[in-house]
Chains A and B, each alone.
Chain A
């Protein structure tokens, strides 16, 4: 038990569920070691494999469609001129 190779196991020794592992991966908070382990885990866990790919597709959609296209140029100038009057 103590020499388990699962890098998701916390200090308290509790075995992580699929969902807990998946969340660390999907939230992009996993270590490199954990990512490698999870990749192997997906080879024999179909629910994780499916859910991971759905989550990945959603993340890609979010990045492609919800980044707003940048702020209007005039904000930058307005901020800079206000700063000038403050610091003058």
Chain B
């Protein structure tokens, strides 16, 4: 768990065969999760491939910054996320501004309970057998998409997400909350459409 934040520090010394073992036994098992993460970030299968390949090559090159037996998954996810920001996002010049100010004020508001307004029904969700959820997720801003993927699909803890994303735990929590609300808004509009169709 600690290794994610010490990506390029605390060098280990491994023999060539130890490196291979770490790579094959600790890194490679995460390749499918990594690919899905890459795909959900870029929304393009070729870009996802490049991103994954790039990440694993970096992981191999910097394997001595990884401490055997620690959280390889979080370490790899952090490398992928950084590659995405530094290489991919720069290339595609995707404008990306989340209104963090708005997000941060959420926990300070007095009437938070008022925000529990379940007008999305479980029954309508159960009817969404197609690409609705995937489209809704992909439509979110990449920063919101990312926390949903890390939390719901990959099961990371707040602390791990904070390290992968280089943000405070409080920001992880508020971003997740906001992301879930945005996702629900999208799903609600799909549910409405489906209701019209069924009527």
Contact = CB atoms under 8 A, between A and B. Distances in A.
Given A29-B158, A50-B118, A71 B152 contact: no
A86 B35 CA distance: 22
Contact of A71 (B32, B57, B128, B151): B32
Given A54-B118, A63-B152, A27 B134 contact: no
Given A57-B122, A87-B16, A71 B134 contact: no
Given A66-B40, A79-B56, A19 B113 contact: yes
B180 interface: yes
Nearest to B154: A67
Interface residues of A, number: 38
27 contacts: A17-B112, A17-B113, A19-B116, A23-B176, A28-B155, A29-B158, A50-B118, A57-B126, A58-B125, A58-B184, A62-B153, A63-B152, A66-B133, A67-B36, A68-B35, A71-B32, A71-B52, A72-B49, A75-B31, A75-B52, A79-B52, A79-B56, A83-B57, A83-B60, A86-B61, A87-B16, A87-B19
Interface of B: 16, 19-20, 23, 28, 31-32, 34-36, 39-40, 45, 48-49, 52-53, 56-57, 60-61, 112-113, 115-116, 118, 120-122, 125-126, 128, 131, 133-134, 137, 148-149, 151-153, 155, 157-158, 173, 176-177, 180, 183-184, 187
